[in-house]
Structure 1
């Protein structure tokens, strides 16, 4: 009985590994975003922070599990299926839409970096800055690694897709899936803007490092938001020509358009706030300085509000696309495309809350705090729903064909056969 259960577990694991797709790193994005929102909820509470620890534990478990599955998947392809490196490279980085899903990988890492910084920030006060030196340096190094990875994903995969794209296949134009690699830059910029000019960062790094980081974040944000609107324009063109998507998997992915708007708004508000603080710290209090501070404060508010309004439109469009075809699709059945909802909704929660935090002292905009709570609940609720649906559909009800897997072929057996050969 025990042996039978063990064999079934191994078969299930091999089945999940062989069917691995980088798309599943979207689970890390969703749980990571939810954990950050729970940690800094618009109406904070100790129990919410405790819940954020649990959610981040799930996020870390998913990341480690998926990373392990990726490594084993490559090993099985090399040692068991005898695939060459170019074949593996083609399957992961050139074949569509698999290559586009690597954007979820870099964004998932960004979510983890964000939460680690929030933990460090909340557990540090003015008396123990020196103890946190190593940690803030480590987070800064992780951010640079995330930035390089995001640029490779956004620029590298986009260029590869342009080069090797099947020009006769226009099916993917029906979804905004091409935004995935590009949004990774927007996310890492928001992450950097959150870290830069924080008390810990200012204490550890000098003025030159602060300025260099701010300039790089600004350049990357501007480039990324330009690409976002170019890709969105192509998607809009398809909507005008071919109409709205009529499949449940396509309608769910409409939420992908919300992500860069909410995250872009959050990032530019943080960036402008960082510039304001940089000016206050390193320049004399003159009329020119006051004008510069006012300019960046207003600029952040206008651009942030603009992108929030675009995000709200895409939320309404996404919900409408689902309900307009609710009779044609089995909307109640779980689809893995549901994972396209949590992270974008989370970005709207973050951006609307940040608008209230930065400008609530000047004007009465408490409504944005309520809106932030609304999106936060939707993000966390959809994350929990997707987690339950994923476990139920892909683990407990995973169809296993035993003939496809020889239970005697374990990793050790494969390595032994390779050594003998």
Structure 2
């Protein structure tokens, strides 16, 4: 009699372990030398399979890019709470978003600590790997959005606590922009592990740099509520230094990336959302310098009687005394000069931000149907297969964590346009532009949250299906 033929079952997913069930055997059974490659006596429970998939997704493959969700929900909460057309129900929505942001931040921070405990090489990757390390800026910026929302809710009542948290943000921003940027982008490794091809130069290198502008904007926001003059001036000067470093360095990174785009064109479909990142430093930079100009005017006007004799303007009154000049109009002159200069810098950054908004959306649309003749099918929903959601979004880019890259940059443009209107009430156009950016931001953030929920539900449904392994029968 001929031996029974061996039939190989179709393989859907191989689970290397399960909790509460026997592990898959490695084929080295001491009692049977002809045992199959994989043997599973008991089906693992769906909770075990779900735990395994979550562990693979969130712990084993942890990346700081996850904190982009904190940035998106955080800036969304701030804009809703301080909407260009304020309303009580919008403030309530802002508080709800801030709770979501806080939950995400605490959960992801716990995951990062656990991942660092499980994987000793993760610390190296988030400091020196040019792919993963720049995304540590997302962690810092997510923290800053929470501090900003805390200040909006408490104002002067918790100003000392907020100021301490701002100094924590300063440390994180400087650490990320200086050390992480150096080790991951420009530092030379002994094994040359971070040497990049020109085609791999990415706008993601902006992430550790933008943290400085975000921290500078936070300093400008809390400055008016600080109780002492020296605290205000210290905060303003340090914020301006961070702003200047970030803007100059960011323009260098953007310049190099423009050269890469001239040669290699826009990024591939999987990286196309990085085109939104320059909008972040442009919008946040404009917002920070507008706050600097506003704070300069307020401080000078509050201390107008002491400006001419202040130690902060020692050179001016010494020169005036030596030439017998009157400095009675010095407060007005200084205020006007500083505000006008800040406005010109901000308007220039905002104008470039408008251009990059077009460039980013055009790049994304060029990857989708009907604009792309040959779209990358790995990143496009196929309407002929899948569930109703995939058929509904046929031709659109598949949801991935890169979608979160759109949220924070668009939010910064809403902030800077809104602040421009607050300074110059006659320019109503900026108020409406701020509202347009805010509405786009809120829509995309809600879409991203729905995408995260959809992927989680999809993962749960997948885990509840019977597990199949490679068996011989």
Range class of TM-score, shorter chain? 0.7 to 0.9
Checking the alignment, whether the CA contact within 8 Å between 2:141 and 2:214 is kept in structure 1 is: yes
- Residue deviations 1:133-158 (CA, integer Å, cap 9, x gap): xx211100000000111100011011
Task: Give CA deviations for 1:270-289 in whole Å, capped at 9, x if unaligned.
Answer: 01111111111223283111
Structure 2: how far apart are the matches of 1:240 and 1:39?
41
More helix by share: 1
Counterpart of 2:222 in structure 1 is 195
Superposition CA RMSD, Å = 2.0
| Equivalent in the alignment of 1:170 | 198
* Unaligned ranges ≥5, structure 1: 78-82, 122-128, 404-421
Secondary structure (helix, strand or coil) at the match of 1:334 reads coil
Contact 1:259–1:345 (8 Å) recurs in 2:
yes
Tell me the secondary structure at the aligned position of residue 164 of structure 2: helix
Unmatched tracts of structure 2, length 5 or more:
1-19, 21-44, 308-327, 381-395, 468-473
Mapped partners of 1:249, 1:369: distance in 2 = 34
Find the aligned partners of 1:217 and 1:306 in 2 and give their Cα distance: 19
User: How much has 1:8 moved relative to structure 2?
Assistant: 4.2
Other structure's SS at 1:90 match: helix
Given candidates 254, 277, 288, the residue that maps to 2:275 is 254
What does residue 399 of structure 2 align with?
334
* Closer, same or farther: CA 233–402 of 1 in aligned 2, 3 Å: farther
Matched, 1:160 2:183: yes
Tell me whether 1:89 sits opposite 2:123 in the alignment: yes
Q: 1:293-328: per-residue Cα shift (whole Å, max 9, x none)?
A: 111121122111111101000001111112233222
The CA deviation string for residues 363-383 of structure 1, in whole angstroms up to 9 with x for no partner, is x31111111110000111111
Distance 1:353 1:208 in 2: 28
Task: Note the alpha carbon deviations across 1:176-213, whole angstroms, 9 max, x for none.
Answer: 11100000001000011000123xx1xx3x22222111
Q: TM-score, normalised by structure 1?
A: 0.84
| Aligned partners of 1:253 and 1:338 also within 8 Å | no
Question: Which residue matches 1:389?
Answer: 451
1:304 to 346, 352, 355: 346
- The answer to whether structure 1 residue 207 and structure 2 residue 229 are counterparts is yes
Distance 1:388 1:278, change over 3 A: same
CA contact (8 A) 2:50 2:459 kept: no
Does the Cα contact within 8 Å between 1:266 and 1:347 map onto a contact in 2? yes
Deviation at 1:250, TM superposition (A): 2.2
Look at both structures and tell me which one has the larger radius of gyration over its CA atoms.
2
Q: 1:96 to 1:276 in 2, by over 3 A?
A: same
State yes or no: 1:109 paired with 2:130.
no
Distance 1:218 1:394 in 2: 42
Change (3 A) 1:177 1:294: same
Q: What count of residue pairs does the alignment treat as equivalent?
A: 372
Change in 2 beyond 3 A, CA 1:244/1:41: same
CA contact (8 A) 1:103 1:184 kept: yes
Q: Report the alpha carbon displacement of residue 93 of structure 1 after superposing the two structures with TM.
A: 1.4
In 1, distance between residues paired with 2:114 and 2:272? 33
1:367 aligns with 2:388: no
Given that residues 11 and 402 in structure 1 are in contact (C-alpha distance below 8 angstroms), is that contact kept between their aligned partners in structure 2?
A: no
Q: For residues 18-59 of structure 1, give each alpha carbon's deviation from its aligned partner in whole angstroms, at most 9, with x where no partner exists.
A: 221111000000000000000000111111111111111110
Distance of 1:209 and 1:54 partners within structure 2: 32
Q: Which moved more, 1:381-390 or 1:159-168?
A: 159-168
Alignment partners' CA distance in 1, 2:110 and 2:240: 35
Determine the C-alpha separation between the residues in 2 that align with 1:96 and 1:392. Answer: 30
What corresponds to 1:10 in structure 2? 51
Q: What corresponds to 1:139 in structure 2? A: 162
Partner of 2:260: 238
- Contact kept, 8 Å, 2:128 with 2:194, in 1: the verdict is no
2: CA distance, partners of 1:18 / 1:224: 33
CA contact (8 A) 2:116 2:123 kept: no
Q: Distance in 1 between matches of 2:286 and 2:466?
A: 49
